[in-house]
Chain A
Amino acid sequence: MRDNLQLTPDGQLKHLLTLDGLPARILTQILDTASSFVAVGEREVKSVPLLRGKAVFNIFFENSTRTRTTFEIAAKRLSADVVNLNVGASSQSKGETLLDTVANLAAMHADMFVVRHAASGAAHLIARHVAPHIHVVNAGDGRCSHPTQGLLDMFTIRHFKGGFHNLRVAIVGDVLHSRVARSQIHALTTLGCPQVRVIAPKTLLPRDVSNLGVHVYHDLAQGLKDVDVVMMLRLQNERMQGARLPSAGEFYKHWGLTAEKLRHAKPDAIVMHPGPMNRGVEIDSEVADGPQSVILAQVTFGIAVRMAVMSLLAGN
C-alpha cells in the first residue's frame, strides 16, 4: 500500500516517500540522472530551465538547515520558484492541522512539496491527500525515512567505488534512532551489495535487526575488518542523556571512529557521515578531515541527487 503510493500505475515515480520497495530500476535511474546534474554543477551557468514556472514549497515542520538549503539550491538550479516555510513557527502554533496547512499551500498553486516532519508517516499522509498533479518528497520523517539522504549515500559509494557488486559496507553507530540506516540497508541490498554490516552496541540496535539481512557486530575493530565503505551514523545528543548510554566519552572510547580503528578497514576504504558530526563522539577529527573522508563530497552530491529526484517526479 505504502509502496504503491509513490509509483504511478505504469511504474514511474510519482512521490518519493521511502526507499523501501523501490526497485533497482528506479534507484539506478535516479543515480544516472544525478550524474548528469553533477556535470551541470561544474558549468559556468549552474542552472537548467527544466522546472521553469513550477512552484516548489519546502515545508519544514522541524528544523534542518542543511537539508532545507540543499533542497532549495536544487530547486533553484532547476529554475523552479522556491518558497521556504518553517511551519513549526507559525500555523501549527495556531492550531492548524497538517492537512489544512497543506491544502492552503496547494491553493497557492504549489506543484511540489518537500516535507520534513518529526512524526513518522507525515509525508505519506500528505501524498495521500494532495491533488493528482502535486508531487511530494519526504525530506525526513521521525525515525522512519530520509530517502534523499539514502540516495546521496548510494551516489557517493558508486562515485568512489564504481559500483556495489564487490563491496563490504559497514554502518556504524545509533541504528535504532537513525532514519537513514534502514534506507541505506535497503538500497545497498537492492543495488546488489553482497555484504552489509551493522556495528553498534546492543542498546542501539532495533530488536528486528536480524530480519534486515545484515551481519551484526558488537566490536568496532572486528566489524571494520576489510570493509570498503564505512558509513558513520550521528549520535543524537538527547540519546546520550537517556539510559541507553553511559556518556559521550565512554561511547567514543568503544564506538568512535579513530584513525587507529580505521586501519582495520581496507587502505582505500572511504568514510561517510550524514552530518551534522559530533567530533570526538562518533568520529575523530583526524578521520573526519583525513584523506579517506568523503563527507563534504556527500554534501555536493546531495544537490545533484535532489535535482534528479525533483526533475524525475515533475515529469511523471
Chain B
Amino acid sequence: MQQLPSPDQLIARLADRIAPTLGPDLALVGIHTGGVWVMDALLARLGRDLPRGVLDISFYRDDFSRIGLHAQVKPSGIPFDMEGRRVLLVDDVLHTGRTIRAAMNVLFDYGRPASIGLAVLLDRGGREMPICPDFVGAQMELAEHENIALTRGEDGKLGFTLEKRP
C-alpha cells in the first residue's frame, strides 16, 4: 500500500511557494469541488484578503457528448473584473489536463486576464494536454487504473482516497 501524502502538509508547502509571488493584481480561482477547498485553505494560510472566484467547468467539458452533464452543476462566481488580472487557478489533482483546458476557456468568457498560472495539490501524471503547473504540492506517478481524489470530512479535514478501477 502506497503512503498517501497529507493534504495539510502539501497546502503548507504550496502556500510557501506562492507567498513570494503575491501582488495587488493577483486573484485566486478554485475549480469545483476540491480546488475550492484547496484555495480556501491556501487563503487562510496566506492570511491575505485576495480576490477569490470559483469555477464549475461542467458546461465546458470535452466529454459532454459521451457522458452528459455532471449530476450537480454548481454556479460559477467571479466577483472581480477579469480584465488585466493575474489569475492563479487552483485544483486538487492534476491528471490529463483536460479540466484545466476547460477552466481556461471559462476564464476567457469573463474577460481577458493578464496571465493565468496553475497551482495543484498533487500532480499524478498522465497528461494528455500540454499543461504544466507553476506550483505543485507533490508529485506521484499513478497507474491509469488508479484514481486519487481529495475528500473533505464533516469536520472540514481534508484527506486523499485512492481507488483502483477493475
Contact = CB atoms under 8 A, between A and B. Distances in A.
Interface of A: 12, 29, 32-33, 35-36, 38-40, 43-45, 47-50, 311-312, 314-316
B73 A44 contact: no
Contacts of A316: 68
B69 A315 contact: yes
Contact of B110 (A44, A50, A314): A44
Contacts of B56: 36
Contacts of A38: 75
Contacts of A47: 109
B76 interface: yes
Nearest to B77: A39
15 contacts: A29-B72, A32-B72, A33-B73, A35-B75, A36-B76, A40-B59, A40-B76, A45-B109, A49-B59, A49-B105, A312-B69, A314-B64, A315-B64, A315-B65, A315-B69
B74 interface: yes
A213 to B, nearest CB: 29
B75 A36 contact: yes
Contacts of A44: 82, 109-111
Contacts of B82: 44
Nearest to A50: B59
B109 A315 contact: no
B156 to A, nearest CB: 24
Contact of B74 (A36, A45, A312): A36
A137 to B, nearest CB: 16
Contacts of A36: 56, 58-59, 73-76
Contacts of A48: 59-60, 109
Contacts, number: 54
Contacts of B72: 29, 32
Contact count band on B: 20 to 34
Interface of B: 56, 58-60, 64-65, 67-69, 71-78, 82, 105, 108-111
Contacts of A312: 68-69
Given A36-B76, A49-B60, 10 more contacts: A29-B72, A39-B75, A40-B76, A44-B109, A45-B110, A49-B105, A312-B69, A314-B68, A315-B65, A316-B68
A33 B109 contact: no
A233 to B, nearest CB: 31
Contact of A32 (B64, B73, B111): B73
A291 B68 CA distance: 40
B55 to A, nearest CB: 11
A10 to B, nearest CB: 11
B110 A43 contact: yes
Contacts of B69: 33, 311-312, 315
A50 B56 CA distance: 13
A77 to B, nearest CB: 10
Contacts of B77: 39
A39 B56 CA distance: 11
Nearest to B106: A48
Contacts of A33: 69, 73
Nearest to B67: A315
A47 B108 CA distance: 12
A38 B78 CA distance: 13
B73 A315 contact: no
Contacts of A29: 71-72
A314 B65 CA distance: 8
Contacts of B108: 45
Contacts of B67: 315
A315 B59 contact: no
Contacts of B110: 43-45
A113 B71 CA distance: 24
A25 to B, nearest CB: 10
